[in-house]
Structure 1
Amino acid sequence: MFTFTPQFDYTLHKFQLVSIARCDFDDTAQYRVSAMNSKGELSAFASVVVKNGPVSEYGINFQTHIVDKFGVSFGREGETMSLGCTVIIYPTLHRYQPEIQWYRDDVLLSASKWNHMSWSGDRATLTFTHLNKEDEGLYTLRVITKSGYESYSAYVFVRDAEAEVESAPGAPLDVRCLDANKDYIIVTWKQPAVDGGDSILGYFVDRCEVGTTHWFQCNETPVKFARFPVTGLVEGRSYMFRVRAVNQSGMSRPSRVSEPVAAMDPADRGRMREGIVPGRPLELQVTEATKNYVVLSWNPPGEKGLEGVMYYVEKCVSGTDSWQRVNTEIPVKSPRFALFDLAEGKSYSFRVRCCNAAGVGEPSDPTEATTVGDKLDIPSAPSRVVPTRNTDTSVVVSWEASKEAKELVGYYIEASVVDSNVWEPCNNKPVNVTRFICHGLTTGEKYIFRVRAVNAAGLSQFSPESEPVEVKAAIGEYKEVVGGVAGKWHEANIRAISDRAYRVCDLKENRKYQFQVRAANMAGVGIPSLASDTFLCEEWTIAVPGPPHDLQIREVRSGSLVLLWKPPVYQGRDPVNGFYVDIKEADAPEEAWRGVNNKATGKSFIKIEKLTEGETFVFRVRAQNQAGVGQTSAVTEPVVALTKAGTKDIVVDVDDDGVISMNFECGDMTPDSKFVWSKNYEDITDPSRLTLETKGNKSKAVFNTPEEEDVGIYSCLVTHTDGASSSYTLSEEELKRLLEVSHDHKFPIIPLKSELAVELLEKGKVRFWLQADKMSANGKVDYIFNENALSAGDKYKMNFDKNTGVIELIMDSLTPADEGTFTFQLQDGKATNQSSLVLIGDVFKELQKESEFQMKEWVRKQGPHFIEYLGYEVTQECCVILKCKVGNMKKETSALWYKDGHQIKADESLGFTEGVLKLEIAQISKKDSGVYEVVLKDDRGKDTSTLNLTDQGFKDLMNEVFSFIANSSTPLKITSTDEGVRLYTFVNYYNDLLQVTWHYKDSAVSFSDRIKSGVVGEQLWLQITEPTEKDTGKYAIEFNDGKGGLRRTVELSGQAFDDAFAEFKRLQANAISERGRARVAGGLPDVVTIQEGKALNLTCNISGEPLPEVTWLKNDREITSDDHCILKFASGKFASFTITAVNSSDSGKYSILVKNKYGTESGDFTVSAFIGEDAGGKKK
């Protein structure tokens, strides 16, 4: 034994099949398949022997010929006999020997003390050292070579040995032991064919303990029934048995001894709970009832004690209520019991009680009243015995089976020469068929025959005698024709054949012959056919094949039929490699023949389709080989393409036990009709593949073990009808489908809507559940954990809703002991299913952790709690909002905000709306980093949520802010200034922590005095001073948000550069002009109020290039400098206005006017003089 892992040579199927591809000798082994579940393990074994197949080695094809054959043989009991044949194998190889096998009645024989087998290199011999009547039968020699096998068969008859007492019966045969128990063994045998002239009174059974030579008679009086329970055996010892028959004249010789058998108790001894009185025995029944004894059998009870149960048997005479214990002293241990000493003719009922150390249980249900007498009747006599000529020394005898024959063993046939009144047995071993070939007859004598049936109860009466038949072979005949004159008819075959073609041998070359044929059935041999045309016996030398023959038409339907034929006897120069089928309408001329198949078919049948309904057709077939197409066959009889009323087709069925069968029903059967099944339109020779059952007008072909070798076309023909037939094609796909249906029926599965799953409920409870699709009210569920059954209790809550099919197992929590495999096993009648869930390792730990977390969550939610913990949100305006969603709040609940452990005071930045607490940070900066915390608390509990916005947390937040800033940026644009070209973009909000990078031609810009960047408000810009052609190209600004960033680009080249450069030059010129224009930079007030007599001194800045001209005006009139009003312009920058002593006439509007070639500008001011006060406070 070994365990293997399927690799490429082995294929495991879902229907528990193992396919071995490319098998060789190394695959020879005993294979075991084991099925395991929580209830236990069950194994099945199969032995596979891989032999060399019939292949041609080294290009050699072996031809086997069996000559010098053994014929029908006769022997007597106790004699020695040898059967042998000479075997010629061509070519002869000294180192190669064929395999020789011997069969008796199709059963392979092996060497034993009764027979020996030998092979001398050219002769196979089977030797019987001591003939027994069990050796009678049909013997077959099979010679197996690499190219196939050849076989030969002949019958061996074994006569009775000379009786020790004159007119004593023959010895019984086929002694066997059927039911071996501790208390008894049932011995069976078959009655002899020869009763010695007087009826057999009965039989004596002898036993012998293995290892000794002493035989003891088991019964004091002879038993007539061919079955006897032997008691008084010692448990554990082995015995052999023999049987002797007795009649009025004396005792027969003993039969051949049986195989040794041990007296053992086959009953199982299940051990159940201690101290329980066993229950009632089950299924009590009477299995044997004769005038000498009655045998009871029953099944052990379902409930037993710790030790094995024993039984008391009770009987009661029908019509009374008085039960008597049969085995009063010692209870029996076996669930079988034989009762003797019952009054013949009376009726009894029986019952059984179980007992063990705990007491005697309740009795079983009593049996029906059983009358003491032979339960099995002697069969009725066969009828309609019909002999048919076979050979010059044998006759075929057929008969109708006994109409009333239970447990039939077989039939004995006897023959008698007419008017001799001496009957001789034709067989000494019963045959279980209704046709037998009687050999050893005298040629030319007339015989009559009779048959009787036999079963365990005895021999039937003889059948009526048959009609006389002369022993003569005359089935096929031929005669020579010389000079046109026919000679005497000669036999061609001495044995009837079932084929409609026959090879006639031993003819003379270049002679002419005629032939005729006779038909035979159970009634005899018919009249001969008309003589054939004269044939010249000469060897055919043509290259093409001869004509096919034996054309048959099957399965005629309105649009199709099946045509069968047999290959030509003469194949031509080369083997036949195909056939062509021709068709024409029956009344059409010869030139109307047309082909059915354009490509030759290699099969000897074809289905012809697309026929015109109601039309009459005829067919013919031609064979071809490499040389060409041969002669046409004979034309078939005309056939009408029409489906007859009541025609039915083969129906494939899969029953509830998964058995696949093909069923055919015929409504036109006659009493002689039979169903004939075939595969690929050939006889089914392997009975192990199909079991055929016929009942009335229905026949069933049951697949025993459907496999790929069963693929093919199956057909059924009903004989003695007007062509009733049908076929069914079993393809690989159809076989696969049927196997799936068979598996579903044999092992029905309860469909599941969902497999076993686990989920967590409130409070951390764990729910295992599945949903079945369909289950009846009788459905049940077993809950298994690590192969141990679970029951409902404090830990497990089990629910099964049969309306919805939902099955669940609920646990409050998980502990380390709950790690393992959970299984739900479903059963609903015959249907089963199961689903498992493995919870081990990290999966179990994660589930346990989550369960504990859910429990804590449930406790937390009993007070104020966070539905959504503290997090942040960035708005489109880049405002950061810290928020959390809370639940189960009340007026007394406080919500406090903290940053780095310090409470945040309530202001407009804190908010609480619709269960959401918020803290708004308008313009976030580095100072806003820290650990934020919200605390909810009241008298029911406290809950805390924390958000870490330091280091990575703050970085992640700022990256999200930067992402919003980047996405708000406008496309990069170009503008010109008086200094050069500026690239810029606007954002909704700028933060000092934002990192941007300027790129030129995919490289970071190198900043200098000429190229600068900066930020003005929400504008980010890059300034290129005095741009040149070298500054053209692609520019980009990249925002860094920690994720991949965002890039805005612009192309500063071509027309865009030209336009920007031209605008720069224009602005630059304007700027130069604006800088050179004369200007009054400042220094003059708008109004000057001054006291008379005071001095007034005003100064202002003057700019302009070239140096501007300066003019002073009073009341729009130019004034000049004098001693009272001094006007100066110094250093080209400063202009001064001085009044040495102000008086009222100096009041007025003054202006300074500057002018150069770029422009003019003025500055205005007003002077107001007032009179001062004297020492007395009065105005002057």
Structure 2
Amino acid sequence: MTGKATSEAPASGPEESASEPAKVPTPEASGEMAALEPPREEQAPQPQEPVAEAPAPAAPTAAKPAPPSEDVPSAPLQLTMEDVSDSSVTVSWEPPEKLGRLGLRGYVLEVCQEGASEWVPVNDWPMMVTQQTMRNLTLGDKFFLRVAAVSSAGVGPPAVLDQPIHIQEIIEAPKIRVPRHLRQTYIRQVGEAVNLQIPFQGKPRPQASWTHNGQALDSRQASVRTGDQDSILFIREAQRSNSGRYELTLQLKGLEAKAAIDILVIEPPGPPSSIRLLDVWGCNAALEWMPPRDTGNTELLGYTVQKADKKTGQWFTVLERYHPTTCTISNLIVGNTYSFRVFAENQCGLSASAAVTKELAHIKKADIAAKSKGFTERDFSEAPSFTQPLADHTSTPGYSTQLFCSVRASPKPKIIWMKNKMDIQGDPRYRALSEQGVCTLEIRKPSPFDSGVYTCKAINVLGEASVDCHLEVKGEGWRRVSSQGPSHGQENRRHHVWKVD
């Protein structure tokens, strides 16, 4: 190659010496090429550029980078911060538009602390994910994030978040969730325990405090236990002095939440303060009483009034939850002597004792003088007359049937039943009844032979009356057969018997 260069030198002449500077690249230009790592197919034409247009030694740091190779992927798209907490941050991105001819190997996430210039990789090797979470971060950290796609040809240009990420304590405003049963007045009886659990929210844990009627809570009367998510107010044995408004206050870095709970501690009321018997007349007695001095720390539901007969001493309730303080008790028994008492009642029940009348109410018998003059005895004697006649009737063979009629008479008449003008008294196939003027004839399992005219006759000393009807017993498949009865020293009698085919 040296001999060839020597032989060609004379032929070049001055033209060759004029073009010599363009054939020898400067060290600075070579360093710039190595730093930018241009594609090999683009290195050949660069020595042909004029020497005068070559950059100065400091120019590579300010010069624009060479366009990326087709083997290197482009920058990822839509780099976004999805979530940030007091110890972690999650970012996501979309794949680049160009993945490179050699394929995508993964992504590299890098972080740079604010004020520093060094980018530190988060993962040691490329990962094929488009979302990544950085954990165990320290409060107060402030840094930038960028992500770049990696192929076998190298690392593509990165996508950088526009704003730095600041790891700081997440503050959740305090909020109290009062249970539904505590949104109204919470009622307990004296001696019962009060155990109220009030859930709340807030991050970090807010500071909780309780007040009673606007004053600081007395630890001798109630105790408080506050956790991360609730506060519990506990009173072992409630007293009436524990009634009032309890207020829970949550405070968190200038934020505040309050909730009020009304507690009412009650007990049975006292008895009415006084009672007296106002008047007694006929079978009635009037009472009056005064309300109790102690209502049990709640309103009264009314009064219960009872009476007792002096003979038995047993108390019977006359009125319940009666609101007025005066009443009239009626329907008392003549000749008896009564005492009365009144209980007061509230949500806890009746008072332990009652107000009892000192006076007794004696129900006297009224003086009634019998007046015999002018009394005329009335004669109620009456001849028989039928108020409801017999009605024609049709019956089915084998099914018992009844005939009805009504008669009016005084004195009580004698009732005679006949069939076809013949007396049927004593015949076992018939049953006659008479009660309160209603006459009934029952024909047991009739056959067509029982058809005919039936008559009911009523007779007393003042006269007689009768009504009749026609009974028809018919049915399909019945026929009459005759049979000769046995002879027992009497005349043979022929009986007609109806049978079904």
What is the TM-score of this pair, normalised by structure 1? 0.15
State the structure with bigger RCO (CA 8 A, min sep 6), 1 or 2: 2
